[in-house]
Structure 1
Amino acid sequence: MDLDAYTARARSGPCFVCAYLAGDPDYRHELVYEDEAHVAFLDRWPTVPGKVLVAPKAHIEHAVRDLDEAAFGRLMGVVHRVTLAVEAVFTPERTYLLSLGSQQGNAHLHWHIAGLPPGVPYERQQFHALMTENGVLSPTPEQYADMAARLREAIAGGRSD
């Protein structure tokens, strides 16, 4: 991963969620879940297997002040549902949930669902496990498609393996 290019794109390019939803091929992701107001997709630069992003479809930038309590609850319901699928498919030791981004880059509200694989040494857990500076995984397109299919199946209530 070219971290400098990623940073430049995040700071000066279009909103990555809005571009994805508009069908821009430069912002393509593997869809995991979609309803009328939310979308979930595999991270293009995962640091752990099966890392998923969940976002409202509307361009919302603040997790609390831009959502009323009901809308926040619905978004978190999607995060919960997708997280259960990530846990069923990847059986992580722990699952990290974070809302990252800022007004300076990746401003569209989104939640990261990152399952920590079992056996990761303690010093490589938590923030270390999430930082792209420490390396990213490079699944093939076929592996991405397979992960997305297994997650969709788990979300729909089917078996994950």
Structure 2
Amino acid sequence: MRRVEFDEQAYAQRSRTGPCFICRMLAGDPEFRHEIVHRDERHVVFLDRYPTLLGKLLVAPVRHREDVIGDFTAEESAEPWQVVHRAGAALQRVVPTERIYLQSLGSKSGNSHVHIHVAALPPGVPYDRQQTAALLWESAGLLEVPAEESTRIAAQLRAALSSGAG
């Protein structure tokens, strides 16, 4: 797969002025369509539309919450991380993985809906292109994943998640 440049300014503008992309995706808005891998009454797992690594997932609560700590009780905060663990384990079974990276990004200024990035670093990536460099559009470029490949990966992830392992 090839890497392409990403219009980060246009993305930032949409993130800061547009509707919540997760809420719009969950409402079925075709403009905010993502390949959903898993959804239950509390959480959704879906492929990132702007990945820098193959199979990169986002895990989010279905209910719009903006503070990854403050909007959850201690008991509630364990639930999304259990889903993250299952999603990461499924990702390891589907794509070659040296390490799983996890991040909670967003802010009240943009992409405010809590979501956790789950990304698989493939084996053999030189050290200077690992860690944050592997996740940044500026250094890694956007991975252009053909639609049929995304569909295939999503199906494999669904199967891995439904197997209950992890």
Bin of the TM-score, shorter chain as denominator length:
over 0.9
Counterpart mapping for 1:116-135 below 5 A: 116-134=121-139, 135=141
**2:31 alignment partner in structure 1:** 26
Counterpart mapping for 1:75-90 below 5 A: 75-90=80-95
Q: How many residues align?
A: 159
**CA distance in 1 between partners of 2:42 and 2:164 (Å):** 23
**CA distance in 2 between partners of 1:59 and 1:157 (Å):** 28
Higher strand share: 2
**2:104 alignment partner in structure 1:** 99
Deviations 1:10-47 (A, max 9, x none): 11000110011111111100011111110000000100
Structure 1 residue ranges, 4+ long, deviating more than 2 angstroms after superposition: none
| 3-state SS in 1 of match to 2:76 | helix
Deviations 1:76-105 (A, max 9, x none): 111111110001111311110110011111
**CA distance in 2 between partners of 1:64 and 1:125 (Å):** 27
| Aligned-residue RMSD, C-alpha | 1.3
Counterpart mapping for 1:6-17 below 5 A: 6-17=11-22
**2:120 alignment partner in structure 1:** 115
| 3-state SS in 2 of match to 1:107 | strand
| 3-state SS in 2 of match to 1:114 | strand
User: Which residues of structure 2 form unaligned runs of 5+?
Assistant: 1-5
| 3-state SS in 1 of match to 2:106 | coil
TM-score (norm 1): 0.95
* Relative contact order, higher structure (CA 8 A, sep 6+): 2
**CA distance in 2 between partners of 1:26 and 1:99 (Å):** 24
**1:140 alignment partner in structure 2:** 146
Alpha-carbon distance, 1:133 to partner: 1.6
| Percentage of matched positions with identical amino acids | 50
User: Which residues of structure 1 form unaligned runs of 5+?
Assistant: none
Which amino acid in the other structure matches residue 154 of structure 1?
Answer: A
Which amino acid in the other structure matches residue 163 of structure 2?
Answer: G
Which amino acid in the other structure matches residue 101 of structure 1?
Answer: G
**1:65 alignment partner in structure 2:** 70
134, 141, 156: which one aligns with 1:150: 156
Which amino acid in the other structure matches residue 157 of structure 2?
Answer: L
**CA distance in 1 between partners of 2:44 and 2:137 (Å):** 23
